[in-house]
């Protein structure tokens, strides 16, 4: 058995607010191609923080769906309307969590190439936040961008 410098990702479950699906730390690590250098505890923390943030943004939409249709979970909504909003929720949370982890981990690089590496990660962070915004827009059936003439 050889030495491994990375942490194995346990399949912990992150409990989300009511209505939304719970999240798997292992599924998050695999979906976002995290190599295990981020500990499962940090992944779980980032997922919980991101889930709360996304749920806060979706609060009025969730209230509307519950009040108008009486659904108790997003999965019930998906089945009734044949949508994939549960996938979009996970996409929003996963991308927000990855952006936050990437932001925090680039702060720890103390090598001489730290500044260059930090600049290389900025597009990744921006891309993750954009993907999260688009996933939230998919859930609320809003356009991905707003363009105004000045």
Confirm whether pTM is higher than 0.95: no
d(CA 86, CA 96): 15
- Looking at residue 9, the DSSP 8-state letter turns out to be P
Residues 6+ apart with CB under 8 A from 104: none
How close are the terminal C-alpha atoms of the chain, in Å? 64
Q: What are phi and psi of 144, to 5 degrees?
A: -75, -20
- What string of pLDDT tens digits covers the 150 residues of the chain? 443 445 555 679 999 999 999 999 999 999 999 877 889 999 999 999 999 999 999 999 999 999 999 999 999 999 999 999 999 999 999 999 999 999 887 655 556 565 555 555 668 899 999 999 999 999 999 998 767 777
């Amino acid at each position: 058995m050889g030495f491994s410098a990375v942490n194995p990702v346990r399949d912990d479950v992150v409990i989300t607010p009511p209505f939304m699906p719970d999240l798997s730390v292992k599924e998050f690590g695999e979906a976002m191609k995290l190599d295990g250098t981020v500990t499962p505890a940090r992944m779980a923390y980032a997922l919980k923080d991101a889930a709360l943030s996304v749920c806060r943004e979706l609060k009025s939409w969730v209230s509307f769906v519950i009040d108008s249709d009486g659904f108790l979970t997003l999965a019930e909504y998906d089945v009734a309307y044949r949508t994939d909003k549960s996938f979009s929720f996970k996409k929003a949370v996963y991308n927000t969590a990855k952006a936050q982890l990437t932001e925090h981990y680039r702060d720890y690089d103390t090598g001489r190439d730290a500044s260059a590496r930090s600049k290389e990660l900025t597009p990744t962070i921006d891309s993750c936040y954009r993907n999260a915004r688009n996933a939230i827009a998919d859930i609320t059936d809003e356009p991905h961008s707003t363009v105004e003439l000045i």
